[in-house]
Amino acid sequence: MVSVDRDLNSTIDGCEESCTPRFQTEEEILASFGYKQEMNKTMSTISNFSIAFGCCSILSGLTPMWGDAMMSGGSIAVIWGWVLVSVFTFGVGLSLAEICSAYPVTGVAITSADLGLAQFLASVIAIRNPEYDASIYWQYGIFLVIAFIHGVINSVSVKYNGFFNQTSLYWHLVGTLLIIVVALVLTPNKPDAKWVFTYFENDTGFSNNGYAFLIGLLQSQYTLSGFDSAAHMSEETRDAARSAPRGILYAIGTAAIVGFGFMLAINFCVQDFQAQVVNATVSPQMTQVFLDGVGYNWTIVFTVIIMGAMFFSGSALTLGSSRMVYAFARDGAMPFSNYLSRINKTTQTPVYAVWANIIFAVVVGLLYVVNTTAFNAIVSINTIASSLAYLIPIALRVTVARNKFQRGPFHLGPFSDFINICSCFWIILTSILFICPTQFPVTAENMNYACAPLVVVLGGSVAYYYFRAYRWFDGPGKSLEPESEPESQWKSSDGDTKDAKFKVREVEHVNVT
């Protein structure tokens, strides 16, 4: 039975008895991968989990896409689709948690989250004044302010960021509970349980109901992503080999349970499917359900809660993304790596990487002003790219590294291969769905252009490597310079002192199974 909180003492004792070198500190573990500990390890398991849960924000993910899912499979796609996606996503989380435990190293979403918040704010004004139409420039201006605030928040010491993201956790949980209770109590004329659990609707234009149901899964899969942020924060988390895997699994599990309750409550509040979903006069359609069910005042309260969740989610995404940029730059795999890999001495955070993310998000956001079709295409590859990033290490774990993989404190035991294979299958399936058309007949306006920027990015990356980067890039592990470290940095389990360079070579042969 796989458990995040399993007893690890026997495994560790077994390693010691087999003459496996024992690391005294987490700095030594990190150095075994060729990296120096440059950031403060001040985050607890709850802070790590809070960041990952903030990236999986159910309120900011489910609210804008709920209506599309209802039209692509009805209540069945929303309720049972959420259950199906949650199960497979938890499997993916298990696979990544196993890898993260063995390698507790740091490794567009910002634009999507912050601009989505700006759009939602504009829709709140439209609730009060239906004739008001917020200009695209006004929305972009709000987006700039939000992005700047997120840049400032993520430039401070990570210990304050941990507190901020714990506040995000409580905001999501309490806010979601409030929406569920108030909506169920005040909404009249609720549908029966049979409608909620069995109603199917296909308004996609496709004649194949199975395909429509699969398209309806995209809402759930889009929401249950970003949990890998727990791994990106591992170098700033205490006992990362255990805490980061827990952060991943706690985030998925909590989001799955809370999201199911939220979706169930919303579907029990649908009074007229055609009027509130198909022909809704307010966007997103969930807002129409709130207005008809709980009235204007409570709808404003709900939207404030949802906007707060979007704000927290955007901040968490900025934090996780900045650590990815820092990790790539540290290995020399980014333009201006010299700057992007620097750690601010005062805050102990990669400030340059944070603001590089903000600047990139602002530039991508300009596409929303110029061409919304191009903007949607670029933003839509976010989930696909994340999924492919999950796929690569999992696939390598179950193929070329199957017999060489050195397990960490958390591992899947005999279930590892089965879970990893299922995870690969699910990632491939959902990645294909994310580039498929969602409406028929397919026109230039509703065409899913996600494959175009994805091909451009992948093709450009491959070309850059073969024409330039292959000359100097030879893999990760560049920040540790053994010759500059004290000779007595390492001690093996028998107390002998060894130099860092020898120790790094030796760890390649360590087997902690």
Per-residue model confidence (pLDDT) at position 24? 54
- Percentage of the chain beyond pLDDT 90 is 36
Per-residue model confidence (pLDDT) at position 9? 40
| DSSP annotation string for 121-145 | HHHHHHHH-TT----HHHHHHHHHH
pLDDT band at 504 (very low <50, low <70, confident <90, very high): very low
| DSSP annotation string for 442-481 | --TTT---THHHHHHHHHHHHHHHHHTGGGT---S--S--
CB under 8 Å to 297, separation ≥6 — which residues? none
Of residues 247 and 506, the one with the higher pLDDT is: 247
Would you say 48 and 230 are in contact if contact means Cβ atoms under 8 Å apart? yes
Distance separating alpha carbons of residues 217 and 84, to the nearest angstrom = 9
pLDDT band at 500 (very low <50, low <70, confident <90, very high): very low
Distance separating alpha carbons of residues 106 and 341, to the nearest angstrom = 12
pLDDT tens-digit profile of 430-463?
A: 989 888 888 889 888 788 888 888 888 888 888 8
Distance separating alpha carbons of residues 412 and 419, to the nearest angstrom = 8
**Mean pLDDT calculated for residue range 376-390:** 76
Per-residue model confidence (pLDDT) at position 129? 66
Per-residue model confidence (pLDDT) at position 40? 64
Would you say 366 and 378 are in contact if contact means Cβ atoms under 8 Å apart? no
Of residues 481 and 172, the one with the higher pLDDT is: 172
| DSSP annotation string for 149-216 | HHHHHTTS-HHHHHHHHHHHHHHHHHHHHHHHHHHHHH--SPPPHHHHHH---B-SS-S-HHHHHHHH
pLDDT band at 113 (very low <50, low <70, confident <90, very high): low
pLDDT band at 474 (very low <50, low <70, confident <90, very high): low
CB under 8 Å to 319, separation ≥6 — which residues? 51, 154, 161, 165, 229, 233
| DSSP annotation string for 23-39 | -SSHHHHHHTTT----S
Bridge partner list, 491: 497
CA distances (Å), origin 443, targets 70, 272, 372, 439, 494: 22, 29, 15, 9, 70
pLDDT tens-digit profile of 23-68?
A: 556 566 666 666 676 666 778 889 889 999 998 889 988 998 899 8
Among the ranges given (107-111, 160-164, 165-169, 227-231), the one the predictor scored with the smallest mean pLDDT:
107-111
188: which 2 tokens?
Answer: 């009249």
**Mean pLDDT calculated for residue range 132-154:** 85
Per-residue model confidence (pLDDT) at position 388? 84
Would you say 206 and 212 are in contact if contact means Cβ atoms under 8 Å apart? yes
Residue 257: closest CA among 199, 172, 353, 377: 172
Q: How far is CA 462 from the centre of its chain?
A: 25
pLDDT tens-digit profile of 286-322?
A: 999 999 999 999 999 999 999 999 999 999 989 888 8
Output the average pLDDT for the chain. Answer: 80
CB under 8 Å to 431, separation ≥6 — which residues? 384, 387, 388, 391
Of residues 78 and 14, the one with the higher pLDDT is: 78
pLDDT band at 385 (very low <50, low <70, confident <90, very high): confident
**Mean pLDDT calculated for residue range 318-334:** 84
pLDDT band at 234 (very low <50, low <70, confident <90, very high): confident
Number of residues in the chain = 513
Distance separating alpha carbons of residues 345 and 38, to the nearest angstrom = 9
40-386 has which fold? Amino acid/polyamine transporter I (1.20.1740)
CB under 8 Å to 44, separation ≥6 — which residues? 162, 237, 238, 243
**Mean pLDDT calculated for residue range 10-19:** 36
CA angle 404–102–350, rounded 5-degree value? 130
CB under 8 Å to 463, separation ≥6 — which residues? none
132: which 2 tokens?
Answer: 């008001």
Per-residue model confidence (pLDDT) at position 459? 87
95: which 2 tokens?
Answer: 């696979």
Peptide bond before residue 130 is cis, with ω within 30 degrees of 0 = no
Among the ranges given (17-21, 268-272, 345-349, 374-378), the one the predictor scored with the smallest mean pLDDT:
17-21
Per-residue model confidence (pLDDT) at position 13? 39
CA distances (Å), origin 138, targets 119, 134, 144, 145, 152: 10, 6, 10, 11, 22
Provide the 8-state DSSP code for 485.
S
Would you say 201 and 73 are in contact if contact means Cβ atoms under 8 Å apart? yes
State the burial class of residue 431 (Cβ atoms within 10 Å of its Cβ: 0-12, 13-18, 19+). buried
pLDDT band at 186 (very low <50, low <70, confident <90, very high): very high
Among the ranges given (18-22, 112-116, 177-181, 248-252), the one the predictor scored with the smallest mean pLDDT:
18-22
Of residues 114 and 449, the one with the higher pLDDT is: 449
CB under 8 Å to 257, separation ≥6 — which residues? none
pLDDT over 70 at 485, yes or no: no
DSSP E strand stretches across 245-393: none
- Percentage of the chain beyond pLDDT 70 is 77
